[in-house]
Structure 1
Amino acid sequence: MRHRLATLAASAVLTASAAVPAFAADGPAHVEGALASGATWVMDVPENWNGTVLLFSHGYRASGEPNPAENAPSEQTAAIALRQGYALIGSSYATTGWAVEQAVPDQLATLDEFTTRFGKARRTIAWGQSYGGLVTTTIAERNADRIDGTLSMCGLVHGGVANWNSTLDAAYAVKTLLDPGSDLPLVDFPDQVAASRAATAMTGVVDQAQSTPQGRARIALAAALHNIPGHNDPAQPEPGDRDWEAQQRNQYEVMTRFPTTAMEWRQEAESRAGGNMSWNTGVDYAAMLTDSPYAAEVEGLYAAAGLSLHDDLTALAGGPRITAEPGAVDYMTRNVAFTGELTKPQLDIHTTGDGLVPVQVASAHRDAVSEAGASRLLRQSYVDRPGHCNFTAGEQLAALHTVETRLDTGRWGSTEPAAMNARAEVAEPGADHAYAPYQPDPYPRPHDLDD
């Protein structure tokens, strides 16, 4: 999103490349340009620049979608941040799709462009949302010398290999239980036409299954293997704790969109990796369901439908498994597998009802960081709200200020919900801020560390 805020409307777009001393913006500045890679970038610097630059990484854009540069998660967040004196920068990335290999150098090159024009910042904080949280966490682990701290918002902090493995699980369950006799492919799509055809076919399978109690139970099982919550959209009425039917209807809405991710987005990622980068050999789906927070829902729906859950789990155990291409796994691991080896502070925030990037990904990141011995550098906070990246501007600024406290004092200070909500209220008075006590369940798949 290109932020042409009213406060900046009177400023001319800068084209000169001469360096300017830090903190000496001559009036508010809005600057746009392009990198040698073809990526575009955008920068907003307020007149009262406080010396901190915020490097924003935007979310996923599918092939063919518009690809403008963005430098903040929303217009409202940008307006508040600029009033508080922050400089905002970000690039478009040179390509759409699963472009981490291009996104990270484009983001760092944008930071170089900022330094050329405005001087070296006193502090640089990288932040990003959704897929941009993946880009931000990659910068945190691999380019920590370029930043002081990081903030991932609803990010794919489990890493690339784990992401595609988890996506495969739900797709495998749909095919095995709802379309067992078909030749529907799940991986190795030769092109977008084939992937789109497969996505349309799987959507049809899901739609047809929704018409029967047995089909609905099986959709719930597939959703549980991907940790899709039963309340994932603000437009949905919140179901009761044991209202399995309402929870399943909400999961079904996500499952009708899921084939686009599982097939069309996968094909684009496979084309970069040189083949299929995920597998389900050796996966125990019965154990995975046992650990799922949605196990009781699945069991209740199976009982109501007169289905044997044991038989379906046996079918999953005995179905033809999928192996990965080692070279494709190596590509994904080289570019976006997380070791947890943080050397600068990072805060992760996530909504509890995220149907696109389920909140359990935060458990994978927490465990990776803990195993790397860097727990002191990571904190995680949760917003009790349905939806993907459904934060108030105040909640985002509160998270940013929490990272700054850690940088200023060497201590995190309080990341308890009351403290986070108080910071959010200061940044954006009167909004319905909803940081809450929460601990996500374990991530259902091994996350991708060095091994």
Structure 2
Amino acid sequence: MTAMSRRFATLAASALLATSVAAPALAAEEPAHVEGRLPSGATWVMDVPENWNGTLLLFSHGYQAAGQPNPAENAPSEEAAAIALREGYALVGSSYATTGWAVEHAVPDQLATVDEFTRRFGQARRTIAWGQSYGGLVTTTIAERHADRIDGSLSMCGLVHGGIANWNSTLDAAYAVKTLLAPRSNLRLVDFPDPAAASEAAAQMTGVVEQAQTTPQGRARIALAAALHNIPGHNDPAQPEPGERDWEAQQRNQYEVMTRFPTTAMEWRQEAESRAGGNMSWNTGVDYARMLARSPHSREVEALYGSAGLSLQEDLAALADGPRISADPGAVDYMIGNVVFTGELATPQMDIHTTGDGLVPVQVTSAHRDAVTEAGANRELRQAFVGRPGHCTFTAGEQIAALRTVESRIDTGSWGSTEPAAMNARAEAAQPGAEHAYLSYRPAPHPRPFDLAD
């Protein structure tokens, strides 16, 4: 049981019995906390307040690496759960049957959890899917492929660019590290035969990055690799915020992410490849000079190359001429079948993202916006941004404010104001006294085309 589960388990001991008797919607006479297990093996957790307002919130949790604990979660934080329950929302969520890149399990497990809730408590008046990080990807998959099961959705710091775009962007930074910092090494970037090989490659890349950080030339090249993945120069609340032109401080902050990056680029990739049956990403035909020009970090890279006495053009030429990587068509088909987004939203969705996210850079929202625009579904999407470093470092009020915005759109058919002042006012109403930080922001383009056909 998670800490959040333990907190709400005390609300109603009599409701902890896993009975199969369904009660009518809105008829909860006392707070209920119930836990159980699906036939798939996934666990689930449900909290229903005494004053249930008829809205069910389906929460999709973030990525859990293979072998890590995988408890069921039904809210992004204890504080967000407390606010939501106080306001009358029912909360549900599953663990997913497996850890790792488990989208093909996560989506049916989440929908089965809704079915289980309906059997126990009755039909919800409306259902809103919300999720954070990898759970934002699960939520967006539900929104695109199972729109008949929900009334709206909220992705928080989510991978809304989809599976292929995610692994392509990860490959770009890894390719730059190998090509520019370890060109004669045997460093493997894709097609890992097993977890041990991936861990070995991750350790090797970490060593390469750490050694490069000791020289001006190495630091410039790390900055280039980081720019291709759009890693921000202020990405952790513990970091002092660098000045706008303090390139050295920005690079140090990017380096901190790059020392952790191999875990994603190798170990998490290997788990995803094992599901897909091969490598699902490629960099054939990619113009890295053009990608750098589109990056918000291009000036930093140019400045660091200049101070290091390096030729940026020569290194971009090395990236252009290096051995490229092709995808396995079957693995690409797996991704298309499970988690490539078309932008074809049929119900309202809101994306919120922090501007200083080093794990899932904010430019992923540009990819989603472009896809939704191309699909002609602009009316269904709104995006809002929080000016804060870190991955998913929202206040509970900021999350509840976005949730209320989606709910209002469902109720009225109009988004109303999603400007920063309005979003911060909603956040303050939900969580008074916190430092809410919605701001006006337009992210740079995503480094790679979002549309698979491109």
Q: Secondary structure at the match of 1:4?
A: helix
Answering whether residue 32 of structure 2 is matched by residue 29 of structure 1, we say: yes
Answering whether residue 58 of structure 2 is matched by residue 51 of structure 1, we say: no
Which amino acid counterpart does residue 56 of structure 2 have in structure 1? Answer: V
Q: What is the 5 A alignment of 1:97-112? A: 97-112=100-115
Q: Distance in 2 between matches of 1:10 and 1:127?
A: 24
Q: What is the 5 A alignment of 1:145-294? A: 145-294=148-297
Q: Distance in 1 between matches of 2:399 and 2:265?
A: 29
Query: Contact 1:157–1:364 (CA<8 Å) still a contact in 2?
Result: yes
Q: Distance in 2 between matches of 1:21 and 1:349?
A: 34
**Match for residue 411 of structure 1?**
414
Q: What is the 5 A alignment of 1:433-444? A: 433-444=436-447
Query: Contact 1:14–1:29 (CA<8 Å) still a contact in 2?
Result: no
Q: Which of 126, 129, 140 is matched with 2:129 structurally?
A: 126
Query: Contact 1:59–1:130 (CA<8 Å) still a contact in 2?
Result: yes
Q: Deviations over 1:153-196 (max 9, x none)?
A: 00000000000000000000000000000111100000000000
Q: Distance in 2 between matches of 1:186 and 1:305?
A: 27
Q: Secondary structure at the match of 1:43?
A: strand
**Match for residue 381 of structure 2?**
378
Aligned identity (percent) is 80
Q: Distance in 2 between matches of 1:10 and 1:285?
A: 56
**Match for residue 317 of structure 1?**
320
Which amino acid counterpart does residue 125 of structure 2 have in structure 1? Answer: R
Alpha-carbon distance change, 37 to 7 in structure 1, aligned in 2, over 3 angstroms: closer
Q: Secondary structure at the match of 1:195?
A: helix
Q: Secondary structure at the match of 2:450?
A: coil
Q: Deviations over 1:125-157 (max 9, x none)?
A: 000000000000000000000000000000000
Q: Distance in 2 between matches of 1:153 and 1:7?
A: 23
Q: Deviations over 1:220-239 (max 9, x none)?
A: 00000000000000000000
TM-score using structure 2 length: 0.98
Q: Deviations over 1:299-319 (max 9, x none)?
A: 000000000000000000000
Q: Distance in 2 between matches of 1:6 and 1:280?
A: 48
Q: Deviations over 1:338-359 (max 9, x none)?
A: 0000000000000000000000
Query: Contact 1:57–1:128 (CA<8 Å) still a contact in 2?
Result: yes
Answering whether residue 424 of structure 2 is matched by residue 425 of structure 1, we say: no
Q: Distance in 1 between matches of 2:451 and 2:186?
A: 30
Q: Distance in 2 between matches of 1:450 and 1:126?
A: 29
Q: Distance in 1 between matches of 2:215 and 2:22?
A: 66
Query: Contact 2:137–2:162 (CA<8 Å) still a contact in 1?
Result: yes
Answering whether residue 80 of structure 2 is matched by residue 91 of structure 1, we say: no
Which amino acid counterpart does residue 240 of structure 1 have in structure 2? Answer: G
Which amino acid counterpart does residue 300 of structure 1 have in structure 2? Answer: A
Q: Distance in 2 between matches of 1:24 and 1:4?
A: 22
TM-score using structure 1 length: 0.99
Please report how far the alpha carbon of residue 26 of structure 1 lies from its aligned counterpart in structure 2 after TM superposition: 2.4
Q: Distance in 2 between matches of 1:450 and 1:374?
A: 19
Q: Secondary structure at the match of 2:384?
A: strand
Which amino acid counterpart does residue 129 of structure 2 have in structure 1? Answer: A
Please report how far the alpha carbon of residue 447 of structure 1 lies from its aligned counterpart in structure 2 after TM superposition: 1.2
Please report how far the alpha carbon of residue 212 of structure 1 lies from its aligned counterpart in structure 2 after TM superposition: 0.2
Q: Distance in 2 between matches of 1:327 and 1:5?
A: 43
Q: Which of 343, 346, 357 is matched with 1:343 structurally?
A: 346
- Aligned length in residues: 451
Q: Distance in 1 between matches of 2:8 and 2:72?
A: 19
Query: Contact 2:8–2:47 (CA<8 Å) still a contact in 1?
Result: no
Query: Contact 1:338–1:450 (CA<8 Å) still a contact in 2?
Result: no
Q: Deviations over 1:196-254 (max 9, x none)?
A: 00000000000000000000000000000000000000000000000000000000000
**Ranges in structure 2 where 5+ consecutive residues have no aligned partner:** none
**Match for residue 395 of structure 1?**
398
Q: Distance in 1 between matches of 2:138 and 2:388?
A: 24
Please report how far the alpha carbon of residue 18 of structure 1 lies from its aligned counterpart in structure 2 after TM superposition: 1.2
Query: Contact 1:2–1:71 (CA<8 Å) still a contact in 2?
Result: no
Alpha-carbon distance change, 6 to 197 in structure 1, aligned in 2, over 3 angstroms: closer
Query: Contact 1:2–1:69 (CA<8 Å) still a contact in 2?
Result: no
Query: Contact 1:56–1:128 (CA<8 Å) still a contact in 2?
Result: yes
Which amino acid counterpart does residue 400 of structure 2 have in structure 1? Answer: L
RMSD: 0.9
Q: Distance in 2 between matches of 1:217 and 1:253?
A: 14
Query: Contact 1:2–1:68 (CA<8 Å) still a contact in 2?
Result: no
Please report how far the alpha carbon of residue 5 of structure 1 lies from its aligned counterpart in structure 2 after TM superposition: 5.9
Q: Distance in 2 between matches of 1:8 and 1:36?
A: 23
**Match for residue 9 of structure 1?**
10
**Ranges in structure 1 where 5+ consecutive residues have no aligned partner:** none
Which amino acid counterpart does residue 278 of structure 1 have in structure 2? Answer: S
Q: Secondary structure at the match of 2:30?
A: coil
